[in-house]
Structure formats: structure tokens, C-alpha cells
């Protein structure tokens, strides 16, 4: 192989590499933007402090903030709905 041909090959190889690097950089910045958006769905963080309470009537778990409560025999019970609460108080 002549040195000139090698030089030309190297030249084109470098050009190809630069193109690939530019593509990578572009795709990297694009994925950075995507990961920036993915910060928003952190639903778990908001509910982390919230306790789930058991409805003894139907056996379902309800977030304490949205659960109904009633006292019977000095114990507080939580319910998913007024129906369950009524059943508990009657039964």
C-alpha cells in the first residue's frame, strides 16, 4: 500500500469517527432531556408518609387520609366506605 492511500484512508476513518461521535453526543443530550422529564413521575414519594389502613369489614386497604374511622370498644377502626362503617357498628 502506498503511504498516500493510507493517509486518505485515515482521513476518511477520522471523518467517520467524528460523525459517529456527533451522533452519540446528539443522542446523549436527547436522552438527558428524557431523563429530565422522568423526574416528574415520583408518585411514590408523595404517598410514602401515608399509612394504609385495613378495612376489617371488606378486608381492603385504604389510605388513612381518605379512610372513614369509627370507634368501638375503645379501638379505632378504618373503613373504605360508610357502608362498611355501618356494618361494623351494627355488627
Task: Enumerate long-range contacts of 79-87, CB under 8 Å, 24 or more apart.
Answer: 79/55, 80/55, 84/55, 84/57, 84/58, 85/57, 87/57
Which of 53, 67, 80, 88: binder of Zn ion (CB under 5 A)?
Answer: 80
Which lies closer to Zn ion via its Cβ, residue 47 or residue 82? 82
- Scanning residues 4 to 33, which ones bind Zn ion (CB under 5 A)? none
State how far the alpha carbon of 11 is from the alpha carbons of 2, 5, 25, 49, in Å: 14, 10, 21, 60
> Which of 54, 56, 58, 87 lies at the binding interface for Zn ion (CB under 5 A)?
58
Rounded CA-CA distance 40/33 in Å is: 12
**Nearer Cβ to Zn ion (50/83):** 83
Which one, 29 or 65, has the nearer CB to Zn ion? 65
- Classified as helix, coil or strand, 30 is helix
Our finding on whether 53 is near Zn ion (CB under 5 A) is no
The single residue among 67, 84, 85, 88 that binds Zn ion, judged by CB under 5 A, is 84
Binding interface with Zn ion (CB under 5 A): 55, 57-58, 80, 84
Amino acid at each position: 500500500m502506498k503511504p498516500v492511500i493510507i493517509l486518505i484512508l485515515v482521513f476518511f476513518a477520522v471523518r467517520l469517527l467524528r460523525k459517529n461521535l456527533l451522533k452519540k453526543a446528539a443522542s446523549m443530550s436527547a436522552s438527558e432531556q428524557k431523563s429530565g422529564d422522568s423526574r416528574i413521575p415520583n408518585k411514590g414519594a408523595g404517598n410514602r408518609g401515608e399509612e394504609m389502613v385495613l378495612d376489617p369489614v371488606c378486608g381492603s386497604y385504604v389510605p388513612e387520609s381518605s379512610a372513614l374511622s369509627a370507634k368501638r370498644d375503645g379501638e379505632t377502626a378504618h373503613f373504605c366506605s360508610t357502608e362498611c362503617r355501618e356494618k361494623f357498628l351494627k355488627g
